[in-house]
Amino acid sequence: MRKTWLLGFGFFSISITWALYNAFVPFFLEKYISSVALIGFFMTIDNYFALFLQPWIGNRSDRTHTKYGRRMPYLLIGMPLGALFTAIIPFHNSMVTLILFMVLMNLAMSLYRSPTVSLMPDITEEKKRTRANGIINFMGGVGSILAFSLGSMLYNTHTSLPFITAGFVTLAALFILKTFIHERRDAPGYIPEQTSKPRMTFRSQLNRTTVLLLAAIFFWFVAYQGVETLFTLYGKNQMGLTENQASFSLTFFSLAFVIFAIPSGLIGAKFGKKRMILVGVLGLLIVFALVPWVESLFLLRIVLTLGGICWACININSYPFIVSTGSEDSIGTRTGMYYLVSSLAAISSPPLLGKLIDIMGYSILFFCAAGSMLLALVCVLLIKHPERSSPNHPQSAPVQG
């Protein structure tokens, strides 16, 4: 699994960049915009790009064949541009230049995010993908933790330092990936030519299993994104917590996810991805249903820790599962579909749940989240897809490294 750890540096750089971007760009926007809603809109630009550009790039990368492979050309173009536009964000001199740099940075990130994610199943045989996904999510989680812990110190030294650092980390990650990951050598299912195969389309991938799985992904991301976005307000206004207590409580959820990422992948590889997803969805449904009855801060953090473990069961196994339900030459397309659905949930969930809170009060947040998890559970239970050792290559060669 050495190649997986090396590939994890790509996710490490992406996580650091987004964590620093989400933490500090709102401070820049606040200088020009008084409306929090408008600031929130500009901070979701990446999700709008994910709706359209990332699925197209993922599909396009399936049909890209160069001496560098299918995915690497997008990394070679997108990562240097992403590093550049991330680094120059703090050097804006007006709202126009700030928005321009943000848009360019998001465009550049969209060029290589889906191909980077697609590299994992590309270089990993199917039966090892949940373990590999656990590893790269662990590295991504470590990147986020480092960004939050060290980013504030860098920002206090100079507002540009977190962004310049993120740019250098991205370039270092590209060097590692280009040096050690070679698609033609490392990908068991790599096909250098595809002239005889029909063009891969989204419609051709929408069988019953895929539709049900995409629906489940949408519903559990509606629950997750809504809770993640609105939890601190819930803690402050419903439970009477301080802002610091509410925000710090979310750390227990995130830390539990990072710690359980690799074990979740290992268990999923042994007992099946669908089983682990079912355990996670049912567990998170129970956790969300319990939160409204929790009054103790200590008990709340225990429940959130359990929630983080359940989220690892879902998140680590869901991407390998949706890839496994298609052929090896549809990996980029299915990666784009995954991002399309999760981004749609990220865009729609916070305002929808926020409107319900305006009407019915904060207590409705976790009841709605539990209801959304129940719908996800129903969708997963309806899936009748047998898990195989490899969807297109039953006797795939072992991964090198």
The yes or no reply on domain 2-186 and CATH 3.40.630.30 is no
Instruction: Quote the CA–CA distance of 353 and 216 in Å, as a whole number.
Output: 18
For residue range 257-272, list pLDDT tens digits in order. Answer: 889 999 998 998 888 8
Query: Which CATH number is correct for 203-382, 3.40.50.620, 3.40.50.2000, 1.10.760.10, 1.20.1250.20?
Result: 1.20.1250.20
Instruction: Tell me the pLDDT tens digit for each residue of 351-371.
Output: 888 888 888 888 898 999 999
On the question of a common fold for 2-186 and 203-382, the answer reads: yes
pLDDT at 335: 80
Q: Which of 343 and 291 is assigned the larger pLDDT?
A: 291
Residue entry with tokens 């991301």: 221
Under 8 Å between Cβ of 337 and 214: yes
Long-range pairs of 370-374 with CB within 8 A, sequence gap ≥ 24? 370/223, 370/285, 370/288, 370/289, 372/219, 372/220, 372/222, 372/223, 372/226, 373/219, 373/220, 373/223, 373/281, 373/284, 373/285, 373/288, 374/285
Mean pLDDT for the chain overall: 83
DSSP annotation of 363 reads: T
The predicted pLDDT at position 401 comes to 31
DSSP letter string, 47-58: HHHHHHHHHHHH
Q: What angle do CA 327, 333, 334 make, to 5 degrees?
A: 70
CA distances in angstroms from 264 to 145, 221, 282, listed in the order given: 19, 18, 15
Helix-then-strand count for the chain, H and E? 14, 0
Within 10 A of 199 (CB to CB), how many other CB atoms are there?
Answer: 9
What pLDDT does 395 receive?
A: 33
Torsion of CA 338, 342, 348, 351, to 10 degrees: -170
| pLDDT tens column, 116-128 | 888 888 778 877 8
Averaged pLDDT for residues 35-55: 75
Would you say 61 and 118 are in contact if contact means Cβ atoms under 8 Å apart?
yes
Lowest-confidence range among 31-35, 253-257, 303-307? 31-35
Residues of the chain by 3-state class (helix, strand, coil), percent to 5: 80, 0, 20
For residue 149, count other CB atoms closer than 10 A to its CB: 9
- Cβ pair 341, 288 in contact under 8 A: no
Listed by start position, the domains of the chain span 2-186, 203-382
Residue type, 134: G
66 has which bridge partners?
Answer: 69
Please report the pLDDT score of residue 291 as a whole number.
Answer: 92
